[in-house]
Amino acid sequence: MVRKFDFLVIGSGIAGMSFALKVAHKGSVALICKAGLEEANTYYAQGGIASVTNLKVDNFEKHIQDTMVAGDWISDPEAVEKVVCNAPAQIEELINWGVNFDKTENGEFDLHKEGGHSEFRILHHKDNTGAEIQTSLIEAVKKHPNITVFTNFYAVEIITQHHLGIIVTRHTPGIKCFGAYVLNEKTGDVDTFLSKVTVMATGGCEAVYTHTTNPLVATGDGIAMVYRAKGLVKDMEFIQFHPTALYHPGDRPSFLITEAMRGYGAVLRNLGGEEFMQKYDPRLSLAPRDIVARAIDSEMKQRGEDHVYLDVTHKDPEETKKHFPNIYKKCLSQGIDITKDYIPVAPAAHYLCGGIKVDLDGQSSIKRLYAIGECSCTGLHGGNRLASNSLIEAIVYADSAAKHALSVLDRYDFNEDIPEWNAEGTISNEERILITQSMKEVNQIMESYVGIVRSNLRLVREWNRLDILYEETERLFKRVKASREICELRNMINVGYLITRQAMERKESRGLHYTIDYPHPAKQQDNTEVL
């Protein structure tokens, strides 16, 4: 089946939905969701969204400085300034869409402070800010007559000149995107979605790791699709591990214990009950996430333990319950009363700072294709993401991409020559157990060899094991009908390859990329990207 839409948006988090809402007045929008509308990283973001709002004590310069410091000074200054300075206007837009941020009794925003921030500037809705934003946007999307939501549709490949029989390499000038081939999971058919403008908003890739706070749909689909289409991908080595995910063996994904709890006053302790952050950083438990995650990793390895504790028992119990109702409820369901008991925590893969390389308008290196949200590399985060900068980045760049797309839409038309998906010679896949097992292997080798602490030897070992899985999977993909499982596995392997390769290319420790072979930052770094 061939479907035509002015705008094709792949992904349904804050980036994809806000873009759709900003362009829908000018054309038809297809919003592709591989699961339901709620199943996006946005929904799971607890802490909040960063913006300068209290001008009595805060300003743009402070937020810019905090972002640059957290990013280990390799963030793009233009991207940082763009996000920070445009944040307040986008906060107002979220409020107009129905988002309720917590306020104090005098009607001002109840601002939190998180690791790496010099001031209180985190807007939030209790401890489920992402869910509040996601729910509000879903309601707005459902009401808009020009937006068609396709749930349980899975994007397989983006369409370029390659599908017209033209040889496309990484050096081919003027690669264009004409839409995407999308699997309708209900029918099992791969439909052709033709578009004038395509937007990748597929989120991150942390489901390639065993321990992750991300929903298991975060398999790096958009990044892998764009990489296979010969688009630029950058900074994939910078994977942020959240220091404090609830330690409960068997849970996948891991439940996130928001950084805001440390901002509130919680302290980290080892299993002997001793505080330890003073050994690693003067900012203690509120140091940037990479430092805290490595400190916890070090404590666990030194003591042969698989978790540490987060202690909030010294705070007022009623205030704790009020600020963190969902965390309180979740922990209580596992027999932990956070007002009386220490919370067992361990690091888990949380956020990707790299992704599809884009310019200040969210345009990728492929024409007519934008990338926004976590799957994009805007340059904002550099070597490490400052807490709560992700949601604001997503909506600021969605706004820029929407404005740019609207300004050029009339220049584009549908490419009617695109052939439909060719499934000739393929068979139904009866070997799902092979796919499941391969996914587990990807998770295990990424966790073991490309985690918080890396080395050249570990990276080479991971590369060799991933290469075997790649060959096996590509052979299987060519034989069987397209399914979400085989496509996800394929994408996970592609993304694992990109993380490993770019980690190998960075001959220094920088930000989130820490290697025992180069324990100190180099005087000069190469700013690598995959061409």
Domain boundary among 322, 347, 372: 347
The predicted structure's pLDDT at residue 132: 87
Q: Which of 140, 138, 117, 126 lies closest to 50 in space, CA to CA?
A: 117
The predicted structure's pLDDT at residue 197: 98
Same domain, 205 and 284: no
Residue 191 domain flag: yes
- CB of 190 closer than 8 Å to CB of 421: yes
- For residue 239, list its beta bridge partners: 352
Residue 426 domain flag: no
Q: What are 296's two structure tokens?
A: 């916890």
pLDDT digits (tens, 9 = 90+) for 166-183: 888 888 889 999 999 999
Mean pLDDT of 352-376: 97
Return d(Cα 122, Cα 259) in angstroms, integer.
11
Query: CB 291: neighbour CB atoms within 10 A?
Result: 18
Residue 314 domain flag: yes
Residue 79 domain flag: yes
Same domain, 55 and 86: yes
The 3-class secondary structure across 19-81, one letter per residue, is HHHHHCCCCCEEEEECCCCCCCHHHHCCCCEECCCCCCCCCHHHHHHHHHHHCCCCCCHHHHH
Same domain, 81 and 216: yes
Query: Tokens 């391969």 belong to which residue?
Result: 438
Kindly report the CATH number assigned to the domain that includes residue 502.
1.20.58.100
Domain boundary among 347, 377, 402: 347
478 against 496, higher pLDDT:
496
Grouping H, G, I as helix, E, B as strand and the rest as coil, residue 510 is: strand
Grouping H, G, I as helix, E, B as strand and the rest as coil, residue 526 is: coil
pLDDT digits (tens, 9 = 90+) for 200-235: 999 999 999 999 998 888 999 999 999 999 999 999
Q: Is the pLDDT of residue 527 over 50?
A: no
Q: Is the pLDDT of residue 38 over 80?
A: no
Which entry of 262, 289, 458, 484 is annotated as an active-site residue?
Answer: 289
Q: Tell me the pLDDT band of 531, cut-offs 50, 70 and 90.
A: very low
Q: Is the pLDDT of residue 318 over 90?
A: yes
Q: What are 160's two structure tokens?
A: 């370029």
Return d(Cα 270, Cα 66) in angstroms, integer.
28
Return d(Cα 175, Cα 375) in angstroms, integer.
19
The one-letter code for the residue type at 283 is R
- Cβ neighbors of 422 (< 8 A, separation 6 or more) are none
- Least confident stretch, 37-41, 307-311, 347-351, 467-471: 37-41
Domain boundary among 305, 326, 347: 347
The predicted structure's pLDDT at residue 525: 44
Q: Model's pTM, two decimal places?
A: 0.90
Angle at 131 between CA 126 and CA 134, to 5 degrees: 135
Dihedral in degrees, nearest 10, Cα atoms 476, 481, 485, 486: 30
Residue 419 domain flag: no
End-to-end Cα spacing for the chain: 33
Q: Tell me the pLDDT band of 528, cut-offs 50, 70 and 90.
A: very low
The predicted structure's pLDDT at residue 117: 92
The predicted structure's pLDDT at residue 208: 96
Query: CB 100: neighbour CB atoms within 10 A?
Result: 12
Provide φ and ψ at 66, rounded to 5°: -60, -40
Same domain, 444 and 335: no
Q: Tell me the pLDDT band of 39, cut-offs 50, 70 and 90.
A: low
The predicted structure's pLDDT at residue 520: 72
Q: How far is CA 219 from CA 137, 156, 346, 487, 531, in A?
A: 23, 13, 22, 10, 21
Q: What are 95's two structure tokens?
A: 């409020």
252 is an active site residue: no
Kindly report the CATH number assigned to the domain that includes residue 194.
3.50.50.60
Q: How far is CA 92 from CA 70, 88, 98, in A?
A: 26, 6, 10
Provide φ and ψ at 115, rounded to 5°: -55, 130
Same domain, 278 and 172: no
Grouping H, G, I as helix, E, B as strand and the rest as coil, residue 434 is: helix
Same domain, 27 and 101: yes
Residue 93 domain flag: yes
Same domain, 451 and 377: no
Q: Which of 39, 41, 81 lies closest to 60 in space, CA to CA?
A: 81
Mean pLDDT of 437-442: 94
Provide φ and ψ at 442, rounded to 5°: -60, -50
Mean pLDDT of 385-406: 95
Q: Is the pLDDT of residue 523 over 60?
A: no
Q: What are 125's two structure tokens?
A: 């809705």
Task: Using DSSP bridges, classify how beta strands 179-184 and 122-123 pair: parallel, antiparallel or unpaired.
Answer: unpaired
Domain total in the chain:
3
Same domain, 95 and 131: yes
Same domain, 341 and 357: no
Structural domain range at position 455: 432-522
Return d(Cα 276, Cα 13) in angstroms, integer.
37
Query: Tokens 């309708």 belong to which residue?
Result: 184
Q: Where are the alpha helices (DSSP H) in 167-259?
A: 221-228
Return d(Cα 518, Cα 508) in angstroms, integer.
5
Residue 365 domain flag: yes
Is 515 buried (19+), middle (13-18) or exposed (0-12) by CB count in 10 A?
Answer: buried
Q: Is the pLDDT of residue 512 over 60?
A: yes
pLDDT digits (tens, 9 = 90+) for 101-138: 999 989 999 998 887 899 999 999 887 788 888 888 99
Residue 416 domain flag: no
Same domain, 152 and 62: yes
Sign for the pseudo-dihedral over CA of 68, 71, 76, 79: negative
Q: Which of 63, 96, 99 lies closest to 81 in space, CA to CA?
A: 63
The predicted structure's pLDDT at residue 365: 97
Top-ranked range on mean pLDDT: pick from 14-28, 250-264, 278-292: 14-28
Same domain, 64 and 176: yes
- For residue 363, list its beta bridge partners: 370
Q: Is the pLDDT of residue 78 over 90?
A: yes
Kindly report the CATH number assigned to the domain that includes residue 303.
3.90.700.10
pLDDT digits (tens, 9 = 90+) for 421-430: 987 767 776 6
The predicted structure's pLDDT at residue 479: 86
Same domain, 380 and 475: no
